[in-house]
Amino acid sequence: MKPEQHLGDLGLTPPSLAPMMQGVCLRPSTVLVTNAQIDSRRCESGSIFFALAGEVVDGFSFIADAERRGAAAVVVSQERAQEALARVTVPVIAVPDVLSALHRLASMYVKANGQATLVGITGSVGKTTTKEALATILSYCAPTAKTPGNLNSEFGLPLSLFTLSSRDRYGVFELGVDHIGEMDRLVSILNPSHALLTNIGISHLEKFGSTVTTAKEKAKIFHPGLEAGFVSEGCSHLDLVESSAGQRLKRYRQSDLEAIDLGLEGWRLSYRGERFSIRAVGHHLLEDVVGAIAVADSLGIEARDIACALEGFGSMSGRTSVQNGPITIIDDTYNASWDSTSSILSYLSSLMWQGGKKVVLGPMKELGRESERAHTNVARLLARSSFTQAHLYGAEMETAQRELSRLGFRGEVTWTEDFDTLGTQVQQGMEKGDLVLLKASRSVAIDRLIPSLTERWGAYA
């Protein structure tokens, strides 16, 4: 389902939109623009299609497809404007740079909806859980917009912002960055009054190069005009983050709440005397909820409302979500970094469980020169864990397989680069009553194993 955009609320046509993007509309039109898209397959009546030049696919190749699906206009670079006029019959907006045009339109749109208090959230892991928890609290109290899905990059954030409406009192948006300079652009578009940084971890190092650079770049979310900034006390490079921020940040920690660990049932919490339960599994997800509560408190939300809003709050699909049945599946396949992988492995290793504990691990991507060390450390963590089987998948995981062999891991270990073989190995090793964790970077799509597991064992809700 496409997120609902409210760009049409401004009542603008392609000719009136063009100057806002430093562009020129080359065909007249009175059609109202209702939404913005960067994927032609998502275009519909009233769409304005931005023909972005990607690393693999050039959006210009799809302007005709966008028109066929109902687009009201296409945005292209000045250099290709005449070519675009020959390919489509809808208005062509020629701009110096297509991505910058999208950013200008989004920035203008945010300013037009200036009544909302905007919160920006970043970090190596935990952005989405924190965003969902905070949006759950705020929407309990007033209309609130939030990042739909994972639209948090310099391409996705503008589309997220178009979901903000004139009736919203709050907006909670993720800012995901993986290269130098991206945070500057995102902050200039959103201009949040409140910002939170969950942590700095070993992720996206192919472009950042080091966690020090990662910290400096993500700390840019704490821009000079910020009213309040928040950071986890457990964040690595905390001193660097605070010095880079140039302002005093409010630290939060798990101990800010009274918490009783309910295992796979989640946590029973108490905040300022108000009790509630959440279905988020693991210490790292609990800390994300604590961060959301810290921001909500600073916005004046009462403890009772926070507790009522979060009662029953659960982790999203693919983020340590639990599927109960003859075997218990922990689906943590949305993404993987060293921090998130080590956290969930450690938590489940300490969990009391009558059946076997098994893990299916795919590679942690985009770790750059830290990749081999991170995958080796995963093996060392597994070697002293209570897991009885480890099924490893992907080229990077061969490093872990060799290390487990060297350390004499007492359980069964398999490794393969073939997904079908992985599926067979996992199925052969499963027994009724087992707990199995699935964890890998999103690009691996290791959650493809889940349907075959539930189909074989049956009796899943």
Burial of 221 (0-12, 13-18, 19+ CB in 10 A): buried
7-98: what fold?
3.40.1390
Confidence of residue 457 (pLDDT cuts 50, 70, 90): confident
Longest dimension (CA), the chain: 72
Name the CATH superfamily, with its identifier, for domain 113-310. Mur-like, catalytic domain (3.40.1190.10)
Q: How far apart are CA 61 and CA 72, in angstroms?
A: 17
- Residue ranges, comma separated, of all CATH 3.40.1390.10 domains in the chain are 7-98
Q: Is pLDDT above 70 for 205?
A: no
pLDDT of 349: 95
Joined together, the tokens standing for residue 44 give 């519909």
Higher local confidence (pLDDT), 1 or 75: 75
Rounded to an integer, what distance in angstroms lies between the CA atom of residue 21 and that of residue 302? Answer: 41
Please, what is the average pLDDT of the chain?
A: 93
Per-residue pLDDT at 454 exceeds 70: yes
Sign of CA dihedral 274, 275, 276, 282: positive
**438-448: pLDDT as tens digits:** 999 999 999 99
| Domain span(s) for CATH 3.40.1190.10 in the chain | 113-310
How many CA atoms are closer than 13 Å to the CA of 451, on its beta-carbon side?
A: 2
Query: What is the rounded average pLDDT of the residues 71-77?
Result: 98
Q: Residue 306: name the closest of 135, 164, 147 by CA.
A: 135
Q: Does residue 76 have a pLDDT over 60? A: yes
Distance CA 405, CA 418 (A): 20
Of the chain, the percentage scoring pLDDT greater than 90 comes to 83
Output the pLDDT for position 209: 72
Confidence of residue 210 (pLDDT cuts 50, 70, 90): confident
Domain with CATH 3.90.190.20 in the chain: 321-457
Residue 3's pLDDT is: 81
Per-residue pLDDT tens over the stretch 286-338: 999 999 999 999 999 999 999 999 999 998 888 899 999 999 999 999 888 88
Convert the pLDDT of each residue in 351-398 to its tens digit.
Answer: 999 999 999 999 998 888 888 999 999 999 999 999 999 999 999 999
pLDDT digits (tens, 9 = 90+) for 45-58: 999 999 999 878 89
Residue 7 has pLDDT above 60, yes or no: yes
The single-letter code of the amino acid at 380 is R
pLDDT bin (cut points 50, 70, 90) of residue 207 is low
**In this predicted structure, what is the pLDDT of residue 410?**
87
The pLDDT-based confidence of 211 (bands split at 50, 70, 90) is confident
Residue with tokens 């960055």: 177
pTM across the whole model: 0.92
Instruction: Identify the sign of the CA torsion 454, 455, 458, 461.
Output: positive
**How does DSSP classify residue 221?**
G
pLDDT confidence tier of residue 203, bands split at 50, 70 and 90? low
Residue 461 reports pLDDT greater than 60: no
CATH of 321-457, one of 3.40.50.300, 1.10.10.10, 3.40.50.170, 3.90.190.20: 3.90.190.20
In a 13 Å sphere around the CA of 213, the CA atoms on its Cβ side amount to 14
Cβ neighbours of residue 331 under 8 Å, at least 6 residues apart?
317, 318, 320, 321, 322, 323, 438, 447, 450
* pLDDT tens digits for range 257-288: 999 999 999 999 999 999 999 998 988 899 99
Residue 460: pLDDT band (50, 70, 90) is low
Q: What is the CA radius of gyration of the chain?
A: 24
368 within 8 A of 356, measured Cβ to Cβ: no
Arithmetic mean of pLDDT, 126-139: 96
**Phi, psi (5° rounding) for residue 352?**
-70, 130
CB atoms closer than 10 angstroms to residue 54: 10
CB 95, CB 22: distance < 8 Å: yes
Q: Give long-range contacts, CB 8 A cutoff, 24+ apart: 300-305.
A: 301/137, 301/138, 301/141, 303/271, 303/272, 303/273, 303/274, 304/274, 305/137, 305/140, 305/141
154-182 pLDDT, tens digit each = 999 999 999 999 999 999 999 999 889 99
Tokens found for residue 148: 């739909």
